[in-house]
Amino acid sequence: MIVTAQQHFTRQQQTQFPEAQGVFSWLLSAITLATKMIQAKVRQAGLLDVLGSAGDTNVQGEAQQKLDVYANQALLHCLGLRDSVAMLVSEENEEPVVFDRAPETGKYVVVFDPLDGSSNIDVNVSVGTIFSIYRRPDSQHDLQRVCLQAGSKQVAAGYVVYGSSTIMVYTTGSGVYGFTLDPAIGAYVLSHDNLRMPKQGMYYSVNEGQAHTFPDEYRRYLDRLRSGVLGHSYSTRYVGSLVADFHRTMLKGGVFLYPPTRQYQKGKLRLMYEANPLAFIAEQAGGMATDGYRRILDIEPENIHQRTPLILGSQMEVEAFGK
């Protein structure tokens, strides 16, 4: 008997958020709807005029792809129609999108990277969506600061990989679950029940083309992985789409790194809508995530587009950094 994502959301809400009365699962359904819209465009990328640059840059100074714009609009539209959403924070928008909803109605803040790895679309490499959900604090009336919460305050997080199949992985703080989109029925179906990351893996994932710009401790760490100090020598796997690299790490174990570099001295990945959601998922699956010095989920964000170094993966590999 199949279990759809919506059935699973409802079941988890009944046990974890009984006071939500269907609101939380209704919010998650907006995300699944938007990602179905996005995957349909991705599937047709070579047939429709959705490849290439949109001719603009986002707040990060990165060239926006046409699919970046579409994915962002899909999520803003689907989530904006949910009364429970007080604020939306996107990689593609300089400022949060704020809705004039009372605290008793607008209970949640949703943070997302609408299309991670979109520069790979033109060469048919897997891309994805990352999302994170926070409660709106009752005591906080300054909506501009409502979203600046540490990752430990997340109530849900997930990602979707648009690859050979479309897979959504999410957690609400009680295990990690994976769903594969069944195109025959148009629904996400439970395919990975209670996902656990291996305690140790065989692979490390990092852009070694920039290794000469890494801090010394990162270069020493990579040398240790290659030398077999941790029990075996590691192979490298690097896609260049964070979601795809992390999904492999979730299933196979190992470690993903994005160190500080000369160009990005504070790291390149964004804390709120890349590092935090994936760190939450990793910890729920038995893994770990740090910035090299502290737990990712303990970092208090100072702005919505804050960057961070990231070491993310299996317990043994992450604990070995800095030893």
| In-domain check, residue 136 | yes
Q: What is the pLDDT of residue 54?
A: 47
Q: How many domains does the chain have?
A: 2
Q: What is the pLDDT of residue 23?
A: 86
How many angstroms separate the Cα of 241 from the Cα of each of 28, 96, 164, 233, 277? 24, 24, 15, 24, 15
Q: Which residue has the higher pLDDT, 121 or 318?
A: 318
> Do 183 and 210 belong to one domain?
no
> Taking a C-beta distance cutoff of 8 angstroms, is the pair 192, 177 a contact?
yes
**Whole-angstrom Cα distance, residue 248 to residue 239?**
10
Residue 105's pLDDT band (cuts 50, 70, 90): confident
Average pLDDT for 239-268:
94
| In-domain check, residue 32 | yes
Whose tokens are 């029990």? That residue is 231
> Taking a C-beta distance cutoff of 8 angstroms, is the pair 25, 210 a contact?
no
> Do 162 and 213 belong to one domain?
no
Residue 280 dihedral angles phi and psi, to the nearest 5°: -60, -45
> Taking a C-beta distance cutoff of 8 angstroms, is the pair 233, 115 a contact?
no
Whether pLDDT at 226 is above 70: yes
Q: What is the pLDDT of residue 16?
A: 75
> Do 180 and 234 belong to one domain?
no
> Do 170 and 210 belong to one domain?
no
Whether pLDDT at 312 is above 80: yes
Whether pLDDT at 216 is above 60: yes
**Whole-angstrom Cα distance, residue 8 to residue 14?**
10
Cα Rg, the chain, nearest whole Å = 19
The string of pLDDT tens digits covering residues 276-301 is: 999 999 999 999 999 999 999 999 99
> Taking a C-beta distance cutoff of 8 angstroms, is the pair 99, 107 a contact?
no
> Do 167 and 216 belong to one domain?
no
| In-domain check, residue 197 | no
| In-domain check, residue 145 | yes
> Taking a C-beta distance cutoff of 8 angstroms, is the pair 273, 296 a contact?
no
Whichever domain contains 232, its CATH number is 3.40.190.80
Closest listed residue to residue 92, CA positions, set 109, 110, 126, 115:
115
> Do 183 and 259 belong to one domain?
no
> Do 48 and 175 belong to one domain?
yes
Q: Where is the domain boundary, 162, 192, 222?
A: 192
User: If DSSP codes are grouped into helix, strand and coil, which group holds residue 168?
Assistant: strand
Q: What is the pLDDT of residue 57?
A: 56
* Beta bridge partners of residue 235, listed in sequence order: 203
| Residue 258 structural domain | 203-320
The rounded percent of the chain whose pLDDT value lies above 70 is: 91
Number of residues that make up the chain: 323
To the nearest whole number, what is the mean pLDDT of the chain? 89
The string of pLDDT tens digits covering residues 255-275 is: 999 999 988 999 999 999 999
> Do 182 and 119 belong to one domain?
yes
Task: Show Cβ contacts of residue 244 under 8 Å, excluding neighbours closer than 6 positions.
Answer: 117, 125, 126, 127, 128, 161, 163
| In-domain check, residue 188 | yes
> Do 172 and 227 belong to one domain?
no
> Do 51 and 123 belong to one domain?
yes
Whether pLDDT at 140 is above 70: no
Whichever domain contains 58, its CATH number is 3.30.540.10
> Do 212 and 146 belong to one domain?
no
> Do 17 and 95 belong to one domain?
yes
The string of pLDDT tens digits covering residues 147-171 is: 899 999 999 999 999 988 999 999 9
Q: Where is the domain boundary, 147, 164, 192?
A: 192
The rounded percent of the chain whose pLDDT value lies above 90 is: 71
Q: What is the pLDDT of residue 108?
A: 93
The string of pLDDT tens digits covering residues 35-92 is: 999 999 888 765 555 544 545 555 565 556 788 899 999 999 999 999 999 999 999 9
> Taking a C-beta distance cutoff of 8 angstroms, is the pair 52, 37 a contact?
no
| In-domain check, residue 198 | no
**Whole-angstrom Cα distance, residue 202 to residue 237?**
10
Q: Where is the domain boundary, 192, 212, 228?
A: 192
* Beta bridge partners of residue 177, listed in sequence order: 170
Q: What is the pLDDT of residue 139?
A: 62
Average pLDDT for 306-315:
97
Closest listed residue to residue 149, CA positions, set 264, 273, 309:
273
Question: Which contacts qualify for 62-70: CB closer than 8 Å, 24 or more apart?
Answer: 63/119, 64/92, 65/115, 65/118, 65/119, 65/121, 67/38, 67/41, 67/42, 67/115, 67/118, 67/121, 67/127, 68/92, 68/114, 68/115, 68/118, 70/38, 70/41
Q: Nearest-5° angle of CA 230, CA 232, CA 236?
A: 100
| In-domain check, residue 294 | yes
Taking each helix axis from N to C end, the angle separating 242-252 and 276-284, rounded to the nearest 10 degrees, works out to 10
**Whole-angstrom Cα distance, residue 38 to residue 135?**
26
